[in-house]
Structure 1
Amino acid sequence: MSSLSVQTSGAAREAVDRHVPALVAEGFAGKLFAKDPTLWGAAAEEESARRLGWVEAAAVSRPLVPEIAALREEFAAEGVDRFVLAGMGGSSLAPEVITRTAGAELFVLDSTDPEMVAAALADRLDRTAIVVSSKSGSTVETDSARRVFARAFEDAGIDAASRIVVVTDPGSPMESAAREAGYRRVFTADPSVGGRFSALTAFGLVPAGLTGVDVEALLDDAEEAAEVLREDAEDNPGLHLGAALGGTVPLRNKIVLRDLGSGIVGFADWAEQLIAESTGKEGTGVLPVVVGDGDAPEAGAADVLLVELVAVDEEAAPEGDTVRVSGSLGSQLMLWEVATAVAGRILGINPYDQPDVESAKNATRALLADKPEPSAADARDGAVEIRGDQELLEGAETVEEALRNLLGRLPETGYVAVQAYFDRLAWAELERLRPLLARATGRPVTFGWGPRFLHSTGQYHKGGPAEGVYLQITAASAEDLEIPDSPFSFGELISAQADGDAQVLADHGRPVLRLRLTDRAGGVAQLLRTVEAL
């Protein structure tokens, strides 16, 4: 039997008691696994009808297991044992949590920061293959990574086509181009599975399996869980979790995700993109707040629901307004996908579209086409350039003054979103800003690395409730990196992505403070000192 467990207390328990009996009486779980597109209302029916393949992904993906194993053996025979994944959103976050939990090495390149791209290129290129994953086949970040790796292989005297593996939807531009180029292998995934629900398809399994992860065991866990989750029963853990996420009254729309020894590394980051992109639209939704295993000073707020990820054998019951979840990785991937579908139903939104993701992409394309001159800084303080509209800045001349002005715009039920557009591996210390700002404000604070959060919480920022304030941090790079056969460089691309998102946020009336570090080391140290002093 499945090891899944969902325990609730307080407001979460009340939500379960309020919604689960009606969901069971309606037969929601059975209809979900029968791919009934009417579950989210008439307006969502057309989209839902094309996006429910995930309920059977574990079974449909079985034939991939021997194919991936055979390709891994081929690479091993050729001395190729290091794998880079170029993907965004669900295409990168699922393989990352799968490989990290298994202790397997995978370099997840989900950034356009030139220094992070350079780091991916610099390590053991002679033993490296790259998996390029994109459902649409036109994702600019992944295509740019493909181009730069192909050039690097060629410059090193390596047959580039033999080192490139593609995962995409059938009929995408990437599929035809990859086959024409003779790339090592092209895996096509089920087009009826959306990107954030694709963990148990080729998008999650191919990169993880190539690193040596036992993906068959992962599918076994997921299928076992599906047998429990499809039942219209009062103790269905998917119904319980979904009701807790979307059904509290009043709605606790900030979901603090804290790991208390689950053994699943980085799971909250994957759940963040699933929940935020699925629910954050039409002025509603729930915002995941990832705190890892650290402090959550915001957890006591009246609009916050605490979700704790615990070990399978953890028996202590939750206290307060809390949800406690345990289970193996494969089973939890299925659990949270079901729960997100349930929460969408309760919230009255379509969990399968993402209407505000495209707006930032369009703004980026326009900036790359026009290549406007960078705007002058409104103020400079040490290694930091300060930018923002005059209503926000109010003449601020220091980082501290500008930050205090931004936080002064924070609504009583608001949140702070920190968005850092640079190398997340080399500058992980910047994530300390999250708990520091949470302690300073007593409010939920999210931390997102750009541009990857654009495929995650970026949807919620524009489509969810207008209660956030936004701190965008960008950084100068000591050396830019060309994108072969492209009119722009990686440095220009990440700048346009940051500028484009800030523009769309401002167009939605969201307060945005923009800080550009002219020196990465000095700027990070200065920024951390300033926030600590708040």
Structure 2
Amino acid sequence: MATDVSVRIADVALEAEARPLAEQLAADAVAGKLAAQDATLWGPDAEPESSIRLSWTTLHESSRPLLAEIDALRAELEAEGLDRIVLAGMGGSSLAPEVITGTAGVPLTVLDTTDPGQVADALAGDLENTVLVVSSKSGTTVETDSHRRIFEAAFRANGIDPVSRIIVVTDPGSPMEAAAKDAGYRKVFTADPHVGGRYSALTAFGLVPAGLAGADIAALLDDAAAAFPALKADRADNPAIQLAAALGAAHAKGAEKVVFADTGSGIAGFGDWVEQLVAESTGKNGTGLLPVVVDRPESPGFADAGGDATAVAIGPATDAARIATNGPLGGQFLLWEFATALVGRLLGINPFDQPDVEAAKKAARALLDAPTGAQQSAPALTEGAVEVHASGAWFSGASNLVEVLRAFTGAAPQAGYLAVQAYLDRLDDASAAVLRTELAKRTGLQTTFGWGPRFLHSTGQYHKGGHQNGAFLQITGDAEEDLDVPERPYALSGLQRAQALGDGQVLADHGRPVLRLHLTDRAAGLVQLVKAAQELEARQ
């Protein structure tokens, strides 16, 4: 079948195992029904949610009226010298625009953090030339609301009328739409309300910030449109059916993780986008597919993936990859959305809800409302710039950082996974990501890395709802500076700490090992952590 997207199942055994599933999906006309937005595909329990979440299948057509509107606004902004676009959004509101603009090579400052240093750096840019895009389905997302408040105050303090510099993307009828119109913000875009956040790449949530930044969003829709006929075809060689069948067959054999590496696709950061799509869609009811995003095909976890993982190349196939997907960005968006929805059917879950995401938010809110002392705990031990906070039977007798890491990694099941969660500045503290490589190399466990709190809107669903075999390493750190959130009783550092502690408590309540390492000096502490990880012996 000729198409602009393709899937290659490079593993002969996997291809043979996937073929009957692909043939059954084709015989059941599942792809055509999905394209026609049939809400019955995932069973009666899922039908109420799926019936209001399927408009993404035709966004390559329904989003086209947005193009002229975005182009006109961009021309207005350029005429006024406003050429710096800052995006405040979480999850699907930030991940797709970041991939689109990164691939197009156009600048976009993305705020999906509560780290005061990272937000302060964004504020330190040229506010005279800055437009803030506030992107949230409801407008009640605490991170995005905090960013809006902070930037609005900064604009005003610099003699700039905030309403002329704030653009809103939200759902129609949301609290944010009403508040934005009342405030008189420059422009309010409303997105299709029948699309969930992780499927929203080709809605206003993906297109508005990317288009204002200068990406060719018309070409993005064209690429999706070119892929659509193949993806809706009820044939076993439909690329989405092939991909779903391969992932489903691998999962049935125990490969509950999917390891992504870019092999020359030309797409920047696709793994971060597909991570949310797959984890949040499938990680529930004690099952699912855990995405593991690695730097390159040679990285540990991909090149040496064991029986619990499927290595997937984004781009040309490599010797290590069992599956490879190819095509332009718009086509890849649609391919993975179709395939993920079909995998949900194979796994017997609803791919459109996220029942466990709210738990961490509630826990964080409770801590924010609590007295300050309730957010503090004495470290079990301190070594240099690292304070160790741990609880549970796994932590016993450790007297230094290496022993702590040894006990922690030993608490993960043999076929489980480690999750490194860095509540830090993902620009200035980027070296924290090295820990993923070092721990994966020495433990042989699949190891994920996420920046907090953005992973809470992504893999956070899988952590609580998927296979319960993870061990969670949280890294927090003192901030050199802080930012108060206007008209709120907290600063960003307090919000960031509450998000880490809240999620850690929810994970501990699930019986999972949780270790929090707090850095009293971020630079020195990260050096210590990497060195300690390098001193671990290989896991037997």
TM-score (norm 2): 0.96
Partners of 1:50 and 1:371 lie apart in 2 by 40
Partners of 1:516 and 1:38 lie apart in 2 by 47
The answer as to whether partners of 2:18 and 2:248 remain within 8 angstroms in 1 is: no
Matched, 1:309 2:314: yes
Matched to 1:256, the amino acid is V
Corresponding residue number in structure 1 for 2:497: 495
2:324 is paired with a residue whose SS is: strand
Corresponding residue number in structure 2 for 1:179: 181
Corresponding residue number in structure 2 for 1:267: 270
Matched to 2:263, the amino acid is L
2:41 is paired with a residue whose SS is: helix
Corresponding residue number in structure 2 for 1:350: 350
| Among 254, 258, 264, the residue aligned to 2:257 | 254
Corresponding residue number in structure 2 for 1:216: 218
Corresponding residue number in structure 2 for 1:5: 6
Corresponding residue number in structure 2 for 1:291: 294
The answer as to whether partners of 1:4 and 1:327 remain within 8 angstroms in 2 is: yes
Residues 93-146 of structure 1, C-alpha deviation per residue, up to 9 Å, x if partnerless?
A: 000000000000001100000000000100111100010111122100000000
The answer as to whether partners of 2:294 and 2:301 remain within 8 angstroms in 1 is: no
Partners of 1:346 and 1:243 lie apart in 2 by 8
2:110 is paired with a residue whose SS is: strand
Corresponding residue number in structure 2 for 1:63: 65
1:445 is paired with a residue whose SS is: strand
Matched to 2:285, the amino acid is E
Matched to 2:338, the amino acid is V
The answer as to whether partners of 1:237 and 1:335 remain within 8 angstroms in 2 is: yes
User: Following TM superposition, by how much is the alpha carbon of 1:246 offset from its aligned partner in structure 2, in angstroms?
Assistant: 2.3
| Higher mean C-alpha displacement, 291-300 vs 142-151 | 291-300
Residues 254-283 of structure 1, C-alpha deviation per residue, up to 9 Å, x if partnerless?
A: 101011111000001100000000000000
| Among 210, 232, 235, the residue aligned to 2:234 | 232
Seen in structure 2, the aligned counterparts of structure 1 residues 462 and 107 have a Cα distance that, compared at 3 Å, is: same
Matched to 1:277, the amino acid is E
The answer as to whether partners of 1:252 and 1:302 remain within 8 angstroms in 2 is: yes
The answer as to whether partners of 1:12 and 1:323 remain within 8 angstroms in 2 is: no
Matched to 1:479, the amino acid is E
The answer as to whether partners of 1:2 and 1:331 remain within 8 angstroms in 2 is: no
Matched, 1:395 2:397: yes
User: Following TM superposition, by how much is the alpha carbon of 1:13 offset from its aligned partner in structure 2, in angstroms?
Assistant: 1.1
User: Following TM superposition, by how much is the alpha carbon of 1:372 offset from its aligned partner in structure 2, in angstroms?
Assistant: 4.0
- 1:119-518 pair list within 5 angstroms: 119-248=121-250, 249-293=252-296, 295-299=298-302, 300-310=305-315, 314=316, 319=319, 322-373=322-373, 374-518=376-520
Partners of 1:433 and 1:318 lie apart in 2 by 25
Provide structure 1 residue ranges, at least 5 long, that are not aligned to the other structure: none
User: Following TM superposition, by how much is the alpha carbon of 1:57 offset from its aligned partner in structure 2, in angstroms?
Assistant: 1.2
Seen in structure 2, the aligned counterparts of structure 1 residues 320 and 492 have a Cα distance that, compared at 3 Å, is: closer
Partners of 1:102 and 1:223 lie apart in 2 by 19
- 1:1-80 pair list within 5 angstroms: 2-10=3-11, 11-80=13-82
Partners of 2:300 and 2:216 lie apart in 1 by 38
Seen in structure 2, the aligned counterparts of structure 1 residues 294 and 380 have a Cα distance that, compared at 3 Å, is: farther
Partners of 1:266 and 1:125 lie apart in 2 by 27
Matched to 1:2, the amino acid is T
Matched to 1:396, the amino acid is A
The answer as to whether partners of 2:263 and 2:318 remain within 8 angstroms in 1 is: no
Partners of 2:320 and 2:498 lie apart in 1 by 44
Residues 491-533 of structure 1, C-alpha deviation per residue, up to 9 Å, x if partnerless?
A: 1000000010000000111100110000011111111111122
User: Following TM superposition, by how much is the alpha carbon of 1:320 offset from its aligned partner in structure 2, in angstroms?
Assistant: 6.5
Matched, 1:87 2:83: no
Partners of 1:355 and 1:371 lie apart in 2 by 29
Partners of 1:478 and 1:42 lie apart in 2 by 52
Identity %: 57
Partners of 1:96 and 1:262 lie apart in 2 by 16
User: Following TM superposition, by how much is the alpha carbon of 1:167 offset from its aligned partner in structure 2, in angstroms?
Assistant: 0.4
1:486 is paired with a residue whose SS is: coil
Partners of 2:487 and 2:14 lie apart in 1 by 53
Matched to 1:287, the amino acid is L
| Higher mean C-alpha displacement, 463-472 vs 372-381 | 372-381
User: Following TM superposition, by how much is the alpha carbon of 1:243 offset from its aligned partner in structure 2, in angstroms?
Assistant: 1.3
Provide structure 2 residue ranges, at least 5 long, that are not aligned to the other structure: none
User: Following TM superposition, by how much is the alpha carbon of 1:2 offset from its aligned partner in structure 2, in angstroms?
Assistant: 3.2
Partners of 2:350 and 2:17 lie apart in 1 by 20
Residues 353-410 of structure 1, C-alpha deviation per residue, up to 9 Å, x if partnerless?
A: 0000000000011111113411111110110000111422203232211111111111
Partners of 1:479 and 1:166 lie apart in 2 by 28
Partners of 2:254 and 2:398 lie apart in 1 by 36
2:484 is paired with a residue whose SS is: coil
1:39 is paired with a residue whose SS is: coil
The answer as to whether partners of 2:254 and 2:307 remain within 8 angstroms in 1 is: no
Corresponding residue number in structure 1 for 2:529: 527
Matched to 2:389, the amino acid is R
Partners of 2:16 and 2:189 lie apart in 1 by 45
The answer as to whether partners of 2:392 and 2:513 remain within 8 angstroms in 1 is: no
Matched to 1:324, the amino acid is A
Over aligned residues, Cα RMSD in angstroms? 1.2
Partners of 1:500 and 1:57 lie apart in 2 by 36
Partners of 1:154 and 1:244 lie apart in 2 by 54
2:354 is paired with a residue whose SS is: coil
Residues 39-74 of structure 1, C-alpha deviation per residue, up to 9 Å, x if partnerless?
A: 011111111001001101111110100100111111
2:393 is paired with a residue whose SS is: helix
User: Following TM superposition, by how much is the alpha carbon of 1:235 offset from its aligned partner in structure 2, in angstroms?
Assistant: 1.0
1:147 is paired with a residue whose SS is: helix
Structure 1 runs (4+) greater than 6 angstroms displaced: none
| Among 92, 100, 111, the residue aligned to 2:113 | 111
Matched to 2:365, the amino acid is R
User: Following TM superposition, by how much is the alpha carbon of 1:335 offset from its aligned partner in structure 2, in angstroms?
Assistant: 0.2
Residues 181-217 of structure 1, C-alpha deviation per residue, up to 9 Å, x if partnerless?
A: 0001000100100000000000000000001111011
The answer as to whether partners of 2:82 and 2:130 remain within 8 angstroms in 1 is: yes
Question: What is the total number of aligned residue pairs between the two structures?
Answer: 529
